[in-house]
């Protein structure tokens, strides 16, 4: 079994008390690597290393252009290592090799984009209203950023934090999910190879319930960038509030994929499938509710069920597999429990509905692509994030009703709209309370376009120009140019 070490202050180390945990392959259900199980003291030394690196001239005195060049060198290494890292991700989290390769090959773009932005962060000269003073602003890094990431797209979701945070001049303590730490540690080696000074990127592996709170509350940490579950996000926010730390949070959703009567039916079927069965529904942007206009409801459901039934389930490392396993044992149990809940609530099961036992699934943790029809908008299956291949189909009668249902959850991460009417498309893009609205497409993301949640889906934005601002703070500098000291007893 492969044995990994963590990256702290430029050194590859075990946990101080030598504890480890096994990471499992969701397709075989067996352990394949040992990961260091960090404790509080390991977090302490990672934060200390990041703080030291933040102040050291090897990082702090580096010009922004040189910082950009380092990040570009990392992106080049990422490009040459993309397929190898994709293989590790698939082994560790069970997501399709086709999807992981796509993600890894595209991922360098985030680093190129933010590397390019590093030396374009500019302050402003304020045309100040007061005579005799000159006022300008500086954009400064925050310090030590704690990046806490989940298991569903381990390197991609880390990249959305690391690329802008490094471009802005911060240093990092990254805690990947305990279910997907191997690829993070392989990634860490590339930062070293690229020539980042020791301590700029530190990776601490371990359990969220053991070291998460310690990391978030650590006085040496200046900012938290978190992607994960709703409840964990709440706890992170509360703990960060105690020391008034800035946070970005991305907490998932219950996104609506809305199919109007004027949609191109085949396209909408594919769009709904890509929203919920791609990645076995384990994505924050899963279109886990399909809202379908009553007039096309039966025809749409028939076409969707027929298409979803053909999905090839099985080994995620095969290029032709379409539905892979569930990444973690607890997640498998959670999805099966939600299927029970939906049955008990009176939703009609139209496809799937149980753990998959197809021979192609072996001993893996699979759930059949599952479709519930006639779901009421207030049922739990229509309100709560399942994070699995379970679709709730809800009929609607009018555009107004579609908007009301779509907006009627605590979440607001994304929405899809299927229509041929430009007026309807634009109206929906305005009325839907979601951070991303896709019209006649679904699940598109880019390093150039901001991503984040409305309402309980999160705080802050990742990707796009504005993302770098999440890792900067603005300073106002005043300089007297009058040559005389004014009355010290009144405000200038
Ligand atoms: O996530 P957690 P889990 C949702 C999805 C899923 C549920 C639970 O609905 O079923 O969350 O998944 C770290 N302080 N999403 O339990 O616990 C943890 O170690 C600080 C949505 O895997 O939120 C990991 O690194 N950190 C989502 C990270 O938080 C803590 C993606 C996320 O784990 C911590 C994944 C603590 N107290 C799951 N406890 C999305 N938005 O895409 C845990 N962690």
Residue 350 sits in the same domain as residue 312: yes
Residue 82 sits in the same domain as residue 206: yes
CB 163 within 8 A of CB 71: yes
Q: Can you count the helices (H) and strands (E) in the chain?
A: 15, 21
CA atoms of 375 and 398, how far apart (whole Å): 17
Q: Provide the 10 A C-beta neighbour count for residue 262.
A: 13
- CA of 331 from ligand 1 middle (Å) equals 11
Q: Is 257 in the pocket of ligand 1 (CB under 6 A)?
A: no
Q: Is 462 in the pocket of ligand 1 (CB under 6 A)?
A: no
Q: Is 209 in the pocket of ligand 1 (CB under 6 A)?
A: yes
**Closest atom, ligand 1, to C-alpha of 235:** 37
Model confidence at 489, in pLDDT bands (50, 70, 90)?
A: very high
Q: Residues 419-423: contacts with CB within 8 Å, 24+ apart?
A: 419/260, 419/262, 419/263, 420/262, 420/263, 420/264, 421/260, 421/262
CA atoms of 216 and 54, how far apart (whole Å): 18
What is the mean pLDDT of the segment spanning 132-146? 98
Phi first, then psi: what are they for 271, rounded to 5°? -65, -40
The 3-state secondary structure of 239-286, one letter per residue: HHHHCCCCEEEECCCCCEEEECCCCCHHHHHHHHHHHHCHHHHCCCCC
In a domain, 488, yes or no: no
Chain length of the chain: 492
Model confidence at 305, in pLDDT bands (50, 70, 90)?
A: very high
CB 137 within 8 A of CB 35: no
- CA of 228 from ligand 1 middle (Å) equals 4
Q: What is the pLDDT of residue 492?
A: 84
Query: Quick one: tokens of 15?
Result: 């946990």
Phi first, then psi: what are they for 459, rounded to 5°? -135, 130
Max CA pair span of the chain: 86
- CA of 150 from ligand 1 middle (Å) equals 6
Residue 232 sits in the same domain as residue 315: no
Q: Provide the 10 A C-beta neighbour count for residue 486.
A: 12
Residue 298 sits in the same domain as residue 223: no
Residue nearest to atom 15 of ligand 1 (CA): 229
Q: Is 147 in the pocket of ligand 1 (CB under 6 A)?
A: no
Residue 6 sits in the same domain as residue 85: yes
CA atoms of 449 and 40, how far apart (whole Å): 37
**Closest atom, ligand 1, to C-alpha of 157:** 42
Q: What is the pLDDT of residue 243?
A: 95
In a domain, 492, yes or no: no
Closest Cα to residue 284, out of 451, 163, 134?
451
Residue 203 sits in the same domain as residue 144: yes
Q: What is the pLDDT of residues 91-128, one digit of tens each?
A: 999 999 999 999 999 999 999 999 999 999 999 999 99
Q: Is 175 in the pocket of ligand 1 (CB under 6 A)?
A: yes
Q: What is the pLDDT of residue 371?
A: 98
**Closest atom, ligand 1, to C-alpha of 177:** 25
- CA of 434 from ligand 1 middle (Å) equals 21
Q: Provide the 10 A C-beta neighbour count for residue 424.
A: 18
**Closest atom, ligand 1, to C-alpha of 457:** 41
Average pLDDT, the chain: 97
Q: What is the pLDDT of residues 397-422, one digit of tens each?
A: 999 999 999 999 999 999 999 999 99
Residue 110 sits in the same domain as residue 172: yes
β-bridge partners, 224: 146, 247
Q: Which residues are catalytic?
A: 250
Buried b (16+ CB within 10 A) or exposed e, 227-261: bbbbebbebbbebbeeeebbbbbbbbbbbbbbbbe
Residue 50 sits in the same domain as residue 167: yes
Q: Which residues contact 349 (CB under 8 A, 6 or more apart)?
A: 342, 343, 370, 371, 372
CB 139 within 8 A of CB 121: yes
Residue nearest to atom 26 of ligand 1 (CA): 212
Q: What is the pLDDT of residues 235-287, one digit of tens each?
A: 999 999 999 999 999 999 999 999 999 999 999 999 999 999 999 999 999 99
CA atoms of 181 and 35, how far apart (whole Å): 7
Q: Is 92 in the pocket of ligand 1 (CB under 6 A)?
A: no
Q: In a mutational test of the pocket of ligand 1, which residue from 160, 182, 229 has the highest number of ligand atoms less than 8 Å from its CB? A: 229
- CA of 154 from ligand 1 middle (Å) equals 12
In a domain, 481, yes or no: no
Query: Quick one: tokens of 21?
Result: 């945990």
Q: Is 453 in the pocket of ligand 1 (CB under 6 A)?
A: no
Q: Is 251 in the pocket of ligand 1 (CB under 6 A)?
A: yes
In a domain, 489, yes or no: no
Residue 466 sits in the same domain as residue 434: no
**Closest atom, ligand 1, to C-alpha of 334:** 10
Q: Is 235 in the pocket of ligand 1 (CB under 6 A)?
A: yes
Containing structural domain, residue 217: 2-251+457-476
In a domain, 105, yes or no: yes
For residue 485, is pLDDT > 90? no
């Amino acid at each position: 079994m492969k044995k990994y070490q963590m990256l702290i202050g430029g050194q590859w180390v075990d946990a101080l008390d030598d504890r480890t945990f096994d990471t499992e392959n969701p397709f075989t259900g067996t352990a394949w690597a040992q990961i260091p199980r960090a404790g509080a003291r390991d977090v302490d030394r990672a934060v200390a290393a990041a703080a030291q690196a933040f102040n050291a001239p090897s990082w702090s005195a580096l010009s922004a252009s040189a910082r950009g060049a380092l990040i570009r060198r990392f992106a080049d290494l990422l490009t040459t290592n993309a397929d190898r890292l994709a293989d590790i991700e698939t082994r560790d989290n069970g997501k399709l090799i086709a999807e992981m390769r796509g993600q890894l090959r595209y991922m360098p773009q985030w680093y190129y984009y933010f590397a390019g932005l590093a030396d374009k962060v500019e302050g402003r000269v304020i045309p100040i209203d007061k005579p005799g003073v000159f006022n300008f602003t500086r954009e400064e890094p925050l310090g030590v950023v704690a990046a806490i990431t989940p298991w569903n797209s381990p390197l991609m979701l880390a990249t959305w934090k690391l690329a802008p945070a490094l471009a802005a001049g911060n240093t990092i303590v990254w805690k990947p999910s305990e279910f997907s730490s191997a690829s993070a540690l392989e990634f860490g080696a590339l930062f070293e190879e690229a020539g980042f000074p020791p301590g700029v990127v530190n990776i601490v592996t371990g359990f969220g319930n053991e070291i998460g709170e310690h990391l978030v509350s650590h006085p040496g940490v200046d900012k938290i960038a978190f992607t994960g579950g709703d409840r964990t996000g709440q706890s992170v926010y509360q703990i960060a509030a105690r020391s008034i730390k800035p946070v970005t949070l991305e907490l998932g959703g219950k996104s609506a994929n809305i199919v109007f009567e004027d949609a191109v039916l085949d396209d909408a079927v594919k769009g709904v499938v890509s929203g919920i069965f791609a990645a076995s529904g384990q994505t924050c942007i899963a279109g886990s509710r399909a809202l379908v206009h009553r007039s096309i409801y039966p025809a749409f459901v028939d076409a969707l069920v027929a298409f979803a039934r053909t999905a090839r389930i099985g080994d995620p490392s095969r290029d032709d597999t379409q539905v892979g396993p569930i990444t973690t044992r607890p997640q498998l149990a959670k999805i099966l429990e939600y299927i029970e809940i939906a049955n008990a609530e009176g939703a009609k099961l139209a496809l799937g509905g149980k753990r998959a036992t197809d021979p192609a699934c072996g001993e893996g943790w699979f759930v059949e692509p599952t479709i519930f029809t006639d779901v009421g908008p207030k049922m739990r299956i229509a309100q709560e994030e399942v994070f699995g291949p379970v679709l709730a189909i809800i009929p609607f009668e009018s555009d107004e009703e579609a908007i009301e249902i779509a907006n009627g959850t605590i979440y607001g991460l994304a929405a899809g709209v299927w229509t041929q009417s430009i007026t309807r498309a634009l109206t929906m893009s305005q009325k839907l309370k979601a951070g991303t609205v896709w019209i006649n497409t679904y699940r598109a993301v880019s390093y150039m376009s901001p991503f984040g949640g409305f309402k309980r889906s999160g705080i802050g934005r990742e990707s796009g120009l504005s993302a770098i601002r999440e890792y900067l703070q603005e300073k106002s500098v005043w300089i007297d140019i009058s040559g005389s000291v004014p009355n010290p007893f009144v405000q200038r």
